[in-house]
């Protein structure tokens, strides 16, 4: 439960699993493409993980790091700031426990 995997890899696995489990039950949204990938300031729309990361945001699974109630937080003040960058921190580790939250 405490072993870490990179957040971008965990996201691809999670979204891929959801797509597979729901393919016969509900219409799962198609993965977004480069012009529609813009939820996180630190994720390149051309990353191979970007469509999965964007989809996780679109489905309200991940809101990124440094957020309160899904809104970005200014790192200097610690206050919610809609103008602060929304960060995913793709290469940082995430544990199974964090994913379950």
What integer pLDDT is reported at residue 51 of this predicted model? Answer: 93
Please state, in angstroms and rounded to a whole number, the distance separating the CA atoms of residues 48 and 44: 9
CB of 62 within 8 A of CB of 53? yes
Tell me: the pLDDT tens digits for 43-90?
Answer: 999 999 999 999 999 988 888 888 877 788 888 898 998 888 888 988
What integer pLDDT is reported at residue 30 of this predicted model? Answer: 80
What Å distances lie between residue 19 and 26, 31, 98, 101, CA to CA? Answer: 9, 10, 21, 20
The domain locations on the chain are 4-100
What integer pLDDT is reported at residue 42 of this predicted model? Answer: 92
| Kind plus residue range of the DSSP H or E element containing 44 | none
What Å distances lie between residue 1 and 51, 55, 92, 100, CA to CA? Answer: 26, 24, 16, 10
What integer pLDDT is reported at residue 1 of this predicted model? Answer: 59
In the numeric block, which tokens belong to residue 2? 């405490």
pTM: 0.80
């Amino acid at each position: 439960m405490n072993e870490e995997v990179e957040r971008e890899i965990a996201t691809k696995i999670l979204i891929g699993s959801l797509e597979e489990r729901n393919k016969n039950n509900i219409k799962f949204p198609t993965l977004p493409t480069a012009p529609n990938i813009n939820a996180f300031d630190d994720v390149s729309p051309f990353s191979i993980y970007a469509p999965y990361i964007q989809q996780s945001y679109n489905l309200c699974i991940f809101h990124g790091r440094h957020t309160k109630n899904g809104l970005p937080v200014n790192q200097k003040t610690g206050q919610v700031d809609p103008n602060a960058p929304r960060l995913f921190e793709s290469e940082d580790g995430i544990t199974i426990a964090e994913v379950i939250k």
